[in-house]
Structure 1
Amino acid sequence: MSATGPLSATQSLRDRVDPYAERPTASPARFLYGLNPLAKIAAPLPAMVLLVFVRDAATPLAFLALSYAILLIGVTFSGRLAAILVALPAAAAVVGLGFSVWADAARVDQSVVIWQIGSWTLYGGALEVGLATGLRIAAIVALTLPVGLSTTGPDFVRASVQQLRVPYRIGYTALAAFRFVPRFGYELDVIRQAHRVRGAHGGRGPFAAIARWFGYIVPLMAGAIRHAERVALAMDARAFGAHPDRTERHLVPFRTRDVVFVVLFWAVSAALFWALFPWGLA
């Protein structure tokens, strides 16, 4: 076996479970990757707040379509993106049906009857209210996807420290804490492979699964303690917290294109609210 084989396999595994790994190079047309994370948060935030107060179905549907258009243009298309784009409307439909069941029938009993079981009746008005609520939730979630699918954790922390003046002691400490999550995933995968090679805790069934998980706890905790010690020593060696600010190696500037994106998004959002004017339907 070549010397680079295990190393490349380990690197591939780490990249697969590490959300803070370097993002692969994308086409320049995928513009969301080049925007400041704060711009991608500030742009949809007013629309997300206003969507809480709308009651119609057309307005959240319009913002859902807007978010889908931005995602299809601005980020690299992948299987995960396709799954999200399909799952979100399905989840909205399920949530909408759930809310329609809990709607007050006394307020919609003048509408058409959709379904009746004994003394319980599902009215068309209740279904309309429930689906509008599900669409509203889906639209708010969809507006968070551009920043979630095109931003890494370190870039968000750097932007918060550099533009929002968040103390770096808070930002980078939180980043180090979140960094433990993918590290645990990587360590757990290595421990599983080692147990599989040694044939430890084999077999099927619930008792074998419990035995396997108990066999993971001790080495996983030992690895977590070692990793915490290394992080603490590395931060102490770099005089973390000794000065009021630190020199940034990687800058995440707020450029003109970020301002243009925010202004355009606000303008489109205002146009949609003005054209649909959902508050007049209440």
Structure 2
Amino acid sequence: MTTITSPVPVIDPYAPTAPASAWRFLHALNPLSKVAAVAPAMLLLVLVRDLATPASFIALAYAIILVGARITPRTAALLFLAVPVGVVVIGFGFSVWVDAALVDDTAPFLQIGSWTLFSGAVEIGFATALRLGAIAALALVGGLTTSGPDLVRSSIQQLRVPYRVGYTALAAFRFVPRFGHELAVIRAAHRVRGHHGGRGPIARIARGWGYIVPLLAGAIRHAERVALAMDARAFGAHPTRTERHLVPFRSRDIVFIALFFAASATIFIALFPWQPA
């Protein structure tokens, strides 16, 4: 009796991410739609100087991420702990560097001896910190739900980026995890051979310096293999190529862009101080 076995599944690292449920909608959107939705708001945030506008964009970005993205507990802790703490630290840091002569007509916020921190300086510092936090939060809308290969692939298909450039970027993207794997192998080989080099910061720097040459040699060998493989497959010999994985731009992407534009316009119209103080 002949037994028929099922084929072994092959994992394609370049395959698009698995489709998400309707509830986690950000993963199902085209990567370019997420970039197009947040890019105008990120550019306009550079011009604002108030506190309410960037704070509202941070809240909007957090709401979209919580509703539409699959996030791990570590990512959630980063969003709700690291980003607010960073805003507070950066805000006070910028406040200290504000020229006191520009805000000495405002109420004192903190006084240590002869040094005074005015409330106007705190407002300027936190306005700058909130702008940076809002830009970072908007970037996370696409950054947490888009992989590098998907973004490159959609740029080739929708923006007509030459595939020679796009797939060269994909090959470079694959270098990053490969470097991590090769570094782990080199470290294991050094430990087996007894090349510990002692402890302390100087010993760590010396060990790191010893990893550079093997990593560069491995990178050169890998780049040569990739170049030979691409040349053997006649990569770049034709103006176009057939795509194996498609990343379509659908009506849901247009709806997401339109809704985000509407929310952004509402925030700017309602909160931005159009009249100078």
TM-score by length of 2: 0.88
Deviation at 1:45, TM superposition (A): 1.3
Q: Is the 8 A contact 1:30 1:76 kept in 2?
A: yes
* Paired amino acid for 2:266: A
How far apart are the structure 2 equivalents of 1:245 and 1:170?
12
Partner of 2:108: 113
Partner of 1:262: 257
Q: Is the 8 A contact 1:44 1:265 kept in 2?
A: yes
Partner of 1:9: none
Question: What secondary structure does 2:111 align onto?
Answer: strand
Alignment CA distance shift 1:25-1:167 (3 Å): closer
Asked if 1:161 is matched to 2:156, the reply is yes
Partner of 1:31: 25
Structure 2 residue corresponding to 1:51, chosen from 36, 45, 55: 45
Asked if 1:188 is matched to 2:183, the reply is yes
Asked if 1:41 is matched to 2:35, the reply is yes
How far apart are the structure 2 equivalents of 1:107 and 1:215?
52
Q: Is the 8 A contact 2:94 2:128 kept in 1?
A: yes
Q: Is the 8 A contact 1:56 1:281 kept in 2?
A: no
Deviation at 1:150, TM superposition (A): 0.7
Asked if 1:68 is matched to 2:75, the reply is no
Structure 1 residue corresponding to 2:271, chosen from 245, 263, 276: 276
Question: What secondary structure does 1:280 align onto?
Answer: coil
Alignment CA distance shift 1:114-1:210 (3 Å): closer
Q: Give deviations 1:120-179, integer Å, cap 9, x for gaps.
A: 321011111111111111001110101111111111111111111111111111222232
Say how many residue pairs are matched.
265
Structure 1 residue corresponding to 2:87, chosen from 83, 92, 107: 92
How far apart are the structure 2 equivalents of 1:56 and 1:93?
16
How far apart are the structure 1 equivalents of 2:132 and 2:214?
41
Partner of 1:209: 204
Partner of 1:10: none
Question: What secondary structure does 1:279 align onto?
Answer: coil
Structure 1 residue corresponding to 2:72, chosen from 65, 72, 78: 78
Question: What secondary structure does 2:230 align onto?
Answer: helix
Taking only the aligned residue pairs, the percentage that are identical comes to: 68
Partner of 1:142: 137
How far apart are the structure 1 equivalents of 2:133 and 2:162?
34
How far apart are the structure 1 equivalents of 2:133 and 2:42?
11
Partner of 2:7: none
TM-score by length of 1: 0.86
Pairwise CA RMSD: 2.2
Q: Give deviations 1:8-62, integer Å, cap 9, x for gaps.
A: xxxxxxx9xx9x7875775442111110011000101111111111111011111
How far apart are the structure 1 equivalents of 2:126 and 2:36?
27
